[in-house]
Structure 1
């Protein structure tokens, strides 16, 4: 994966760069940009720690584990697992293979 700094620098060097162009370039380079403004649904993670759990959940889910298995492995309730799954799906982590 290309360094994020290089990706952003290329977009900024172009004529008329925009914030959307930066986000699109990062997405095309394989990065996932997760909004942290708290304006999303109530199940969207708001802290660094909970966002890290979403990434962990997504990695296990992409490997084929069920919600029950993932929840047990992460030491969380299946309801919390469902919330992490919903957040991972919303930001596109479940459809990507790294």
Structure 2
């Protein structure tokens, strides 16, 4: 099944989710803030970090708005390939914030 937006996917997933996959919305908001701060610290000096921000911004906005009620699959979180293909793993604080956001 193909989805046109992150919100469409989230709405579909939340209808099918068993209770153990519901998201702790407040914890996700905190993780999103840490990721946003890590991105902001680096994006002006690295175009790949800016690319990550552009890709993940819609999802971070949904998270900050409390609109992600269920845990997402790792494959559904944008930008993950940038850490291996574009060398973002050189920024350990960013990599850690991204990993925490994904959990």
Q: TM-score, normalised by structure 2?
A: 0.29
Answer with 1 or 2: which has the greater Rg: 1
Structure with higher RCO (Cα < 8 A, 6+ apart): 2
Greater fraction of residues in helix: 2
